[in-house]
Amino acid sequence: MYVIHKERFDVERRLFAFCFTCEHCAHFDDRLLICIHGFPNRQHRLSYYEATPRPPEIVFCKDFDLA
């Protein structure tokens, strides 16, 4: 799901410790750095948001699970 990136999102994700990237997902293999479902995950990774501080859109994965 694509959402327009607004400054308020950055403020609130830090304030509330919002988890939304692959690194926090139960479906992420942190050894191989891949989604176990085989989904492309470049735009879902924390490194993408750190390297691109204000991407035009935030990409949320439909299968994200904190399990």
41, 34 Cβ separation under 8 angstroms: yes
| Residue 13: Cβ within 10 Å count | 15
- Residue in the block written with tokens 């691109």: 52
- What pLDDT does residue 54 have? 80
Phi and psi angles of residue 57, each rounded to the nearest 5 degrees, phi first: -135, 155
Q: How confident is the model at residue 23 (pLDDT cuts 50, 70, 90)?
A: very high
Residue pLDDT, tens place only, 31-52: 999 999 999 999 899 888 888 7
End-to-end CA distance of the chain: 20
Q: 3-state class of 64 per DSSP?
A: coil
**Domain limits, the chain:** 2-59
